Chain A
Amino acid sequence: MKRLFPILCVLTAAFLAYATYRNLAVAPTDALQGDVYRIIYYHVPSAWTAFLLFFINFIASIQYLVIGKPSARSVMKWIVIAVGVLGVIATYLPPIKAQIPAGMEPSAVATTVLMIPAFYFVIGWLFPGQKLDVLAVTAAEVGVVFCTIVLVTGPIWARPVWGIWWATGDIRLTSTLVLWLIYVSYLVLRKFSNSAQTQMLAAALAVFGALDVPLVYLSIWFFRTQHPQPVIGGGGSMDPHMLQTLLLSWMAFLCFAFLVCWSRFHLELLQREVEQAHAMESLAGASASPSMPLSRSTR
């Protein structure tokens, strides 16, 4: 695995370079906005990556909360299965099918819903025990970075196109900002509490944050939306060349995010190992020489 890392780094760098070339030179210029629209190739992939990472954080946090309780664990398992099954059935029911925006297939919605149980079980299987918490903190940290990119590139684009930096009350802008605030407060909690309870408290906060996002969306329902319609599964339309470039760009961003997460995950694991080793050493030192408690080294 360790040898794979540099090879993947080189591949990702090449992929990102190719995506940048496609973004800046190959993709056609927008008829109305001109070249300024090209920031979309950084803005949208960052947003998708950030949302994916926050979703992973949510799933890992739920798994971590139920891990110690077999009864809660089996209840949660059936809830997740029920969400998957009911979600897929619901997308094909006529009244709900009518709610799906134009340009979005029910099968696509059903596949997205199936991602919830799929992620839940894959994450639970790949990351047993304390590794769930390491995954949660990794996903939150990298997610906040990508979300910051979204919030910085958005106004840069909005200023020349809308004439304003920020549209107060816009549903997408506000919910992304609130999402960012919630995850920053999550990281602050982890920073300020370094006791053994931190993991549980952080997992509970992550669940609260995830519950908050639909409510933020609901609360701004009344206001008009200024943000362009979503490219995939919305009223928005896009030139196929542009869409191709966008998806390619997203793939490159995903590879990059994966690499960053991987190294951050191992760093966190190592850090915890070091902390544990220090604790064990001081315990051993304290029992060996009672006159010198908490001595770091016995040599």
Chain B
Amino acid sequence: MTSLWSVTLATLVKDIRLEWRSKDALNSMLFFSLLVVVIFVFSFDPLAEESRHIVGGLVWVAFLFAAVVALNQTWARELRNQVLDAYRVSPSPANALFLAKVLGNFIFVSVLEALMAPLFVIFYNLHVLGPAWQLIPIGLLGTWALVVNGTFFAAMSVRTRSREIMLPLLLFPISIPAVLGMVAGTTAILTGENSARFYIVLLLTYDVVFTTACLALFETVLHAE
């Protein structure tokens, strides 16, 4: 157990340090989602009342696409100099590597969301009518849902030809229930029309099921020959 957490922590610190020095993933994600926001603003010019109904969808679509940009770089970085092969022959538990990558991506995507959310408020003149604190559990659980499966499928797609395009093709169909939960939950809070509790439970179920599945199957995928 100690080795699992120490390896996780070491890999996580390494990833964060790499990201801090290069800022590759964060910069590309930020600029990408900024572009998505701007394009959405030009495409829809809604009234404040209408915007409450559509912003939930726009926010999560922007984050989903931006997350894919970061997720694609997760494992591609380890392919250089055969680092991934070194991981595979090392005696450290495979799940430690996976957890570190998921936590790293979770931090990057959360930072992105924290920076981008105010922009949506400014561009769409948002005023939350429901209990605003519920946006935090929806944001955290939704981000975890995207990142845990995304990291797993990125490890899969890195083994295929044209790996950049493979990740969304694998990730989006599986993520449909989670995306539906995030969008419907966010809309429910923004409009204050109905309770978002059901969607929080749904996202929690999704997270538990798929985190378990990822941890159970990651070793198989990493060592697949």
**A residues whose Cβ falls under 8 Å from a Cβ of B:** 65, 178, 181-182, 184-185, 188-189, 192-197, 200-201, 204-205, 207-209, 211-212, 215-216, 218-222
Contacts and interface: CB of A to CB of B under 8 A. Distances in A.
B169 A185 contact: yes
Contact of A200 (B169, B180, B209, B221): B221
Contacts, number: 87
Main secondary structure of the interface of A (DSSP, over half): helix
B224 A200 contact: yes
Given A65-B217, A208-B213, 8 more contacts: A181-B176, A189-B166, A192-B161, A200-B221, A200-B224, A200-B225, A208-B149, A218-B202
B177 A215 contact: yes
Contacts of B177: 178, 212, 215-216, 218-219
Contacts of B225: 196-197, 200
A221 B173 CA distance: 18
B144 interface: no
Q: Give the most central of B162, B176, B184, B209: most A CB within 10 Å.
A: B176
17 contacts: A65-B220, A178-B177, A181-B172, A188-B169, A188-B170, A189-B166, A189-B170, A194-B161, A200-B225, A201-B156, A201-B221, A204-B156, A208-B174, A208-B210, A215-B177, A215-B202, A215-B205
Nearest to A209: B174
Q: Give the most central of A182, A193, A208, A209: most B CB within 10 Å.
A: A208
B159 interface: yes
B206 interface: yes
Contacts of B123: none
Contacts of A196: 225
A181 B173 contact: yes
B181 interface: yes
A212 B149 CA distance: 12
Given A185-B169, A197-B224, A216 B176 contact: yes
B186 to A, nearest CB: 14
A189 B155 CA distance: 13
